[in-house]
Structure 1
Amino acid sequence: MVVLREGMCPGLDEDLVRGLRAADIKTVEDLVSSDIEELAQKCSVSYKALFAIRRVLLAQHTAFPVSGADLYEELLSSTAIVSTGNPSLDKLLDSGLYTGEITELSGGPGSGKSQVCFGVAVHISYQLKQSVIYIDTTGGLTASRLLEMLQAETTNTEEQMEALQRIHIFRLFDVFSLLDCLHGLCSGGLQQASVGGGSVKAVIVDSVSAVISTLLGGKQNEGMSLMIQVAGVLKTMAKDFNVAALVTNHVTRGGSGEVQPGLGVSWSHIPRTRVLLERVEKAVAVSRPGLRSATLIKSSRQPCHIKEEFDLQWWSRSKGGPSLGKRKLDETDS
């Protein structure tokens, strides 16, 4: 269900949204399935105006068939692979994060989800000279940690500051603020973030489960609806603006005790790629505390359950030149 809100289409202003809600019309589905003539009388608006709004909403939210050839051409012309900056993770992800898709990192506390997100943001901003949107829902992101990683990349203070300016941070702590932020990015925020720097190539949400998991379970249908809305906006943003969406998720225990990503079956269909991060055995961790294992648990490109070990401290070391994907991601890329 998509909740009606002001500005979704021309003519759908605050007063009309308020009137529709008073008539118990709260979603796009409610509006398109209602008797427009009767509804126009209830809301004291013209039938012609309401019919036009209904037609626009139908066009926006109805699926139209596309040929396989068209999809393939779109893939070749628009998809880029954005390196994470870590060779082991890139190998697991078939070269890196793909634009137009959602990639999920799941793991328990201390598994390194946020550290990977920090490293990806720093690599894209400094090495690739592109912009990153970083949505922090846990309060775990600190400028000092980003600067520490950048200082490992370059000793030039001006270059460090330029890279920091390409990381645009939003701190949000509830799902409604997250939805507002994502809608704002789709409505012009991504273009604004590109002014004065490289274009936005990644949107990171760390963590998506922090603002959704508490709303799920029992008879909380609203929580499921909000989760699907978040997923829908992320998918649309990734595809329409050619960005890579990277989200983090918590883990739960399955029926037989196995570790699995949280947010349930409905969410499991949302990310195109899912990676489970875990600590390595204690004996190894003593000598290499930053060592983690990454297991591919969902992918349309690689065999599932392949595993790579990587060091969280990788992003705090000097690595050299930029990594490239299908298309070169540099300062001239738009």
Structure 2
Amino acid sequence: MLSNLLHSIFLTHKDDMVILRDGICPGLSQDLIQALRNVDIRTVEDLVSANLEELAQKCSLSYKALIAVRRVLLAQHAAFPVSCADLYEELLSSTAILSTGNHSLDKLLDSGLYTGEITELTGGPGSGKTQVCFSTAVQIACQLKQSVIYIDTNGGMTANRLLQMLKAKASTMEEQMAALQRIQVLRVFDVFSLLTCLQNIRIGGVHMACVGGSVKALIIDSVSAVLSNMLGGKQTEGMSLMMQVAGELKTISKDLNIAVLVTNHATRDGSGQPRAGLGQSWSHIPRTRVLLQRVERPGTAPGLRLATLTKSSRQSCQVQEEFDLGCWTGSEEGKAGTSGKRKLENDSPK
């Protein structure tokens, strides 16, 4: 047990092993190092993980001397222990939960989007993915007064739609313009441009350029638009590029402590049920995944959507919530009757 514990607190990659050498610690002489090498003890990990009683007998060395050397090596090279309680307190103090602006969707997401995590919206055309992205960006920029980086890969972002939603949350033109300044839009149309963009964000180039407030969210609508055409068939490069994108997103979410929201297209499985695109490898990337679908019951509003939680580490999966996309367009449009509904249909939320 002790050997396993000692082994676990040292680096396990061979290239990172600390080699035993003269002067590395008091008491570790060249003669002692040579004696240890004769029994294949070459690194700090080898020594602290070994049974010192057996080692002393095998090498004709002083047991007390080996104990003293190991004590010094542990003090110099072992990881500093941190209690789980301390880690939990750090998590609570650093994690923020960002509302999407819709109570039903927030409920499904266990209060909203979590910083440090990747959340995915998946669904077919017109399922409401883009509308949810817009709402989240507006909510963070207007209500929280924090900055959002919005990466548009399919040309769906328009300032008019954002302004329309902002008018429902901010009464003055000054507030609306200030919120718009906090939403930084980047347009990319291929995976190589996306990777360059993400790398710039990771190193702080775009992060520092946002106006007003710190960056709290990165939204990509959609990640599948630039990845799906690179996958399948004989295109071996596509999988590598996809995992590079995934790695950048994970690093950004953790290191910058921001919420990452991405959208993905939906396909059909063998039984005709919807499932997220980009395959099994990508399915491990988002921490939370929500499937959006139209609700097509007779007499229902055209903006009604069904959200199904298909992956979560906090909530039971397959929980569902219905919500109306019209709630994000403002109270006046909500009262506009047929004309308001027709405008929502013409916007064709994605």
Q: What is the TM-score of this pair, normalised by structure 2?
A: 0.70
Amino acid at match of 1:117: C
Whole-angstrom distance in 1 between the partners of 2:152 and 2:323: 24
> Contact between 1:153 and 1:318, CA under 8 Å: does it hold in 2?
no
Whole-angstrom distance in 1 between the partners of 2:224 and 2:80: 32
1:152 CA drift (Å): 1.5
1:274 corresponds in structure 2 to: 289
Q: 2:278 aligns with which of 263, 272, 275?
A: 263
Q: 2:151 aligns with which of 118, 135, 138?
A: 135
Whole-angstrom distance in 2 between the partners of 1:311 and 1:222: 40
Work out whether 1:217 is the aligned partner of 2:217: no
Higher relative contact order (CA 8 A, sep 6+): 1
**Cα deviations by residue, 1:239-277 (Å, 9 ceiling, x for unpaired):** 110100000000011122111000000000000000000
Whole-angstrom distance in 1 between the partners of 2:83 and 2:157: 41
2:243 corresponds in structure 1 to: 228
**Any idea what SS the aligned residue of 1:303 has?**
coil
**Any idea what SS the aligned residue of 1:281 has?**
coil
Whole-angstrom distance in 2 between the partners of 1:66 and 1:130: 35
> Contact between 1:130 and 1:198, CA under 8 Å: does it hold in 2?
yes
Q: 1:280 to 1:66 in 2, by over 3 A?
A: farther
> Contact between 1:99 and 1:245, CA under 8 Å: does it hold in 2?
yes
> Contact between 1:190 and 1:200, CA under 8 Å: does it hold in 2?
no
1:318 CA drift (Å): 5.5
1:45 corresponds in structure 2 to: none
Matches within 5 A, 1:3-152: 69=84, 71-152=87-168
1:66 CA drift (Å): 8.8
> Contact between 1:106 and 1:113, CA under 8 Å: does it hold in 2?
yes
**Any idea what SS the aligned residue of 2:122 has?**
strand
**Cα deviations by residue, 1:221-251 (Å, 9 ceiling, x for unpaired):** 2100000000100010001101000000000
Q: 2:264 aligns with which of 244, 249, 266?
A: 249
**Cα deviations by residue, 1:105-126 (Å, 9 ceiling, x for unpaired):** 0000000000110011011100
**Any idea what SS the aligned residue of 1:309 has?**
strand
Q: 1:144 to 1:256 in 2, by over 3 A?
A: same
**Cα deviations by residue, 1:127-152 (Å, 9 ceiling, x for unpaired):** 11010000000001100000111112
Aligned residues with identical type, % of pairs: 69
> Contact between 1:213 and 1:263, CA under 8 Å: does it hold in 2?
yes
**Any idea what SS the aligned residue of 1:283 has?**
coil
Whole-angstrom distance in 2 between the partners of 1:300 and 1:260: 19
Over aligned residues, Cα RMSD in angstroms?
2.0
Amino acid at match of 1:87: H
Whole-angstrom distance in 2 between the partners of 1:159 and 1:219: 51
1:73 CA drift (Å): 3.7
1:218 CA drift (Å): 1.7
Structure 2, gaps ≥5 residues long: 1-14, 16-78, 333-350
Whole-angstrom distance in 2 between the partners of 1:118 and 1:220: 33
Q: 1:294 aligns with which of 303, 307, 316?
A: 307
Amino acid at match of 1:154: A
1:191 corresponds in structure 2 to: 207
Whole-angstrom distance in 2 between the partners of 1:284 and 1:124: 33
Whole-angstrom distance in 1 between the partners of 2:123 and 2:202: 29
Amino acid at match of 2:133: C
